Each structure stands twice: as C-alpha cells, then as structure tokens.
C-alpha cells in the first residue's frame, strides 16, 4: 500500500517536472521573440535617427560651403574692385 502511494507521488512529481520544463520552454520562446522584436525595433530607430543626423550634417556642410564661397567671393571683389565699385557691387547683398 505504501509502495503504491510513493509510486503515485513519484509519477505526480515527474508529471509536474515535465509541465515545468514545458512552461519554461514556452516562456523562453516568448522572451526570445520579444527580444528579437525589440532588437529589430532598436536597429530601425538607430537607422532612422542616423539617417536624420546624416541629413542634418549634409545641410550644415552645404551651408558652410556657401558661407566659404561668399566670403571668398567678397574677398576677391574687395581685392579686385575699387572701394566705390565694391560698395556698388555689394549694395544689398550683406
């Protein structure tokens, strides 16, 4: 009688252990899916923000080159033109 009770208890423990392992596997799969999705989202966010920053950089470089061009243009005008001609050429461009 006692032997049968112990065997039933062992069987119940084994069954619970199988359930535990199955649930752990399911949880691990869910966590892996969530982690994968989160990492994909992170990569997309980084890609988008990096693209925006690159765009900002290009615009700033364009503005810098424009300023350098205008400065060089004005320097050459000041060097080549008389002061009066320079003022007439640049009237309203400042």
Q: What is the pLDDT of residues 14-62, one digit of tens each?
A: 999 999 999 999 999 999 999 999 999 999 999 999 999 999 999 999 9
User: Are residues 90 and 77 in contact, defined by beta-carbon separation less than 8 angstroms?
Assistant: yes
- Domain assignment of residue 94, yes or no: no
pLDDT score of 93 more than 60: no
- What is each CA distance from 39 to 4, 28, 30, 65, in whole angstroms? 52, 16, 14, 38
Domain that holds residue 40: 2-89
Specify if 67 maps to a domain: yes
Reported as a pLDDT band with limits 50, 70 and 90, residue 82 is: confident
Question: Which backbone phi and psi does 72 adopt, to 5 degrees?
Answer: -65, -40
Number of domains in the chain: 1
CA distance 74 to 89: 10
Whether 65 maps to a domain, the answer reads yes
Dist. CA 92–CA 94, nearest whole Å:
6
């Amino acid at each position: 009688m006692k032997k049968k009770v112990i065997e039933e208890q062992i069987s119940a423990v084994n069954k619970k252990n199988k359930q535990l392992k199955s649930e752990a596997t399911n949880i691990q799969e869910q966590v892996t899916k969530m982690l994968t999705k989160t990492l994909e989202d992170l990569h997309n966010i980084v890609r988008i923000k990096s693209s925006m920053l690159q765009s900002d950089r290009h615009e700033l470089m364009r503005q810098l080159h424009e300023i350098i061009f205008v400065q060089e243009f004005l320097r050459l005008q000041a060097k080549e033109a008389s002061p009066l001609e320079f003022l007439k050429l640049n009237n309203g461009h400042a």
